[in-house]
Amino acid sequence: MNQIVARSVIRGLINGRNCSRYISPSTVAILRPFDETAEVRGPVPSGALVLFGGAQWRRMMSTASSPADTPAAAAPPTAVAEKDRNESAVAEEKKGGDVMVSSYWGISRQKITREDGTVWPWNCFMPWETYQTDVSIDLSKHHVPKTFLDKIAFRTVKILRIPTDIFFQRRYGCRAMMLETVAAVPGMVGGMLLHLRSLRKFEHSGGWIKALLEEAENERMHLMTMVELVKPKWYERLLVLTVQGVFFNAFFVLYLLSPKLAHRVVGYLEEEAIHSYTEFLKDIDSGAIENVPAPAIAIDYWRLPKDATLKDVITVIRADEAHHRDVNHFASDIHFQGKELREAPAPLGYH
C-alpha cells in the first residue's frame, strides 16, 4: 500500500500535475478567471438551482436538506434570487454552455469588480486584501546578535544558507520559489500555536494570531507569484516535499520550546531573503534575468500599474520581507523582555 502511495506521489511530481496548473500566462489568468472553480456534477437535490455560475458566490438558498419541501421554496422568487439566476445564466453562457450546479449550501459570491469596473478574477484574495507595499522601508536594518540565543539564531541561518547557495547559485527564480515554500511555514506554525494557547488559557492573543497568519498568507502569495514565473523541475518538487516535512516539524518543536529563538531565526531568515532579492534585482538590472511583464496576480495583489514588470514585483516582495524581518525581530524582543506577545500591540496590516 505504501509503495502504491509513494509511486503515485512520485508520478505526480514527475508529471508536474500539482504545480503546472498555476503556471499560466498572465493574460490567461485575466481572461479565464474562474477556471479553478470546479464544476459540481452528480445527483442534484430536489429543488436545487441548476445553471449556476461558479463565480457567483452569494448566499441565496436555504441550507435545509430538501429546499422543495420548505415554504420558502414554494414562494415566488425574490428579486435577489431572480438576479442571481440571471447572473448564473450569464456565467453559464460564458462557460460555453457547460451546465454547472448551484451550491446546495446556499453559498455564493457577489459580483466583485476592480476600480476600473472589470470583473475581479481572483478567488484566493479580494480587493480589500490588496495593498501597496511601503518600498521606502529601510532594507539595511540588522539585529546585531548579542545574546547566546541571538548568536545561535544568526549562525543557524548562515549555515542554512550554505547548501542553498550551492544548490541554486544565481538561479534566483528557482531559489526564491523554493525559499517561499519554507518562508510561509513559520507564520502558520506561530499563529496556530498562539491560537491553541488562546483556547487553552482563555486569553486574548493581542492580535498576534492574525498578524502571524497574515504573514503566512503574504508569503504564500509570494509563492503563487513566483510559480507564475518559474516552472519547478521534478527534483525541485521533491526537495520542497522533503524540506517542508523537516522544516515544519523542526520549527513547530522550536516554537514550543523557545518562541523568542524561533522569531529571531525568522528575523534573520528575512534578512537573508532581502539579500537574495537584492541579488535578484541586480541580475535583472544587468540583463542576466529578463525583465518580463509582471504576472496578473501580482499586479492585482500589490496594486501595481498595468505595465509593471518583474523588477517591480521583486521590489515589492523584497519590501514585504523587510516588514516580516521587523515583525519577527520585534516579537523576539518582546519575549527577550520577559513578556508575552499579547502584551504588545500586534502589527496588523503592517506591509
Minimum CB separation of residue 100 from Fe ion in Å reads 35
The interface mask with Fe ion, positions 270-289, x = CB under 5 A, is: x-------------------
d(CA 257, CA 276): 29
Of residues 314-343, those binding Fe ion (CB under 5 A): 321, 324
Minimum CB separation of residue 219 from Fe ion in Å reads 5
List the alpha helices (DSSP H) in 79-207: 79-94, 148-168, 172-201
Torsion sign over Cα 254, 258, 263, 265: negative
Minimum CB separation of residue 222 from Fe ion in Å reads 4
Altogether, the residues listed in the chain come to a count of 351
d(CA 107, CA 40): 14
CB 175 within 8 A of CB 230: no
**Quick one: which of 91, 100, 183, 189 contacts Fe ion (CB under 5 A)?**
183
Residue 79 cell numbers, joined: 428579486
Between the CA of residue 80 and those of 51, 106, 229, what are the distances in Å?
16, 13, 41
Q: Which is nearer to Fe ion, 55 or 229 (CB)?
A: 229
d(CA 190, CA 252): 8
The neighbour count for residue 342, using CB atoms within 10 Å, is 19
Minimum CB separation of residue 332 from Fe ion in Å reads 15
Give the binding-site size for Fe ion (rule: CB under 5 A): 7
Q: Which is nearer to Fe ion, 101 or 177 (CB)?
A: 177
Q: Which is nearer to Fe ion, 9 or 160 (CB)?
A: 160
By CB under 5 A, which span of 163-171, 175-183, 203-211, 252-260 interacts with Fe ion? Answer: 175-183
If one asks whether residue 300 binds Fe ion (CB under 5 A), the answer comes out as no
The interface mask with Fe ion, positions 194-233, x = CB under 5 A, is: -------------------------x--x-----------
Instruction: Say whether 109 sits in a helix, a strand or coil.
Output: strand
**Residues forming the site for Fe ion (CB under 5 A):** 180, 183, 219, 222, 270, 321, 324
